[in-house]
Amino acid sequence: MKRGEVRPGSAWALVTGAGSGIGRCYALRLAALGYRLVIVGNNAAPLEAVAGEIRRAAGANASASFPEVRVMPMDLARVGAAQELHDRTAAEGIEIDVVINNAGIFSFCDILTTPAERIERIILLHDLTVSQLCRLYAADMVRRGVRGHILNMSSYSLWMPFPGLALYSASKAYMRSFSVAFAKEVRDRGIRITAVCPAGVATDLYGLTPRWQRIGKRLGVLITPDNCARRGLLALWRGRRCIVPDWWNRAWIPLCKALPMWVLRPIRRFTMQFQK
């Protein structure tokens, strides 16, 4: 069997932010590995489209069983959202074996000009909801005595506390720190936790047009969402606590942390036009 593969229909995986980008690719890959899926996002239409895509992919493979996909539209950037999602899966008799905390909100804006509501929603989604989902589903895994897996999508920007990224990079830094520490707490219970910290990924999250995404991929600055999902899952199955896809991105981390203000000032002046 492939690494991470299960007997078709024998295990459940939950993916948040599954309606597009990296989350969609996680859902497709997990379905191909035999998992039944719960896909979550704040918009029902993209989730239904992904569910249809998964079913069509299985239908094209005569040897594959028809995958079960439950669509759960839900705004996770709220107090109590994690408990609400957990209660809903429990009420439907779904026992989750793999959790992919992928839902995210990108923000490139100085704190003084960032709407208060955006600050609240980003911290709620990236930090509170993720922490509570980890606790709730890990506790279920321990109670059932299964070897569970939880993947949290952090970001390379945690090493880049630059002007305009204060809120986003700090919320992702928390996610990585929490994931690594929690992984150590639950390892002896058979639970594996992985934080994935990609640099540029060719998705709509950053507001890049399709043209600039293609250019970024050609230049090697951006990786594809599927490449990111593939590497993230491989790290999860291997029990890695934290990964940064691509060695050259890891090599740049010390420089990102050490950039002085005299270098950042002209960058800041240039990027002010892109803040929103």
The tens digit of pLDDT for each residue in 132-165 reads 999 999 999 999 999 999 999 999 888 877 888 8
Low-confidence ranges of the chain (pLDDT < 50): 62
26 noted as active-site residue: no
pLDDT of residue 273: 59
Give the list of residues 6+ apart from residue 5 with CB closer than 8 angstroms, or none. 33, 34
Phi/psi at 37 (5° precision): -125, 140
- Choose among 100, 131, 103: nearest CA to 38: 100
**What's the rounded Cα separation, in Å, for the pair 129 and 79?**
8
pTM value is 0.89
DSSP code, position 66: P
Find the helix or strand (DSSP H, E) in which 41 lies. Answer: strand 36-41
**What's the rounded Cα separation, in Å, for the pair 41 and 103?**
7
pLDDT of residue 252: 66
pLDDT of residue 110: 87
Place of tokens 């948040």: 16
pLDDT of residue 200: 74
Which of 137, 168, 174, 206 is the catalytic position? Answer: 168
pLDDT of residue 157: 82
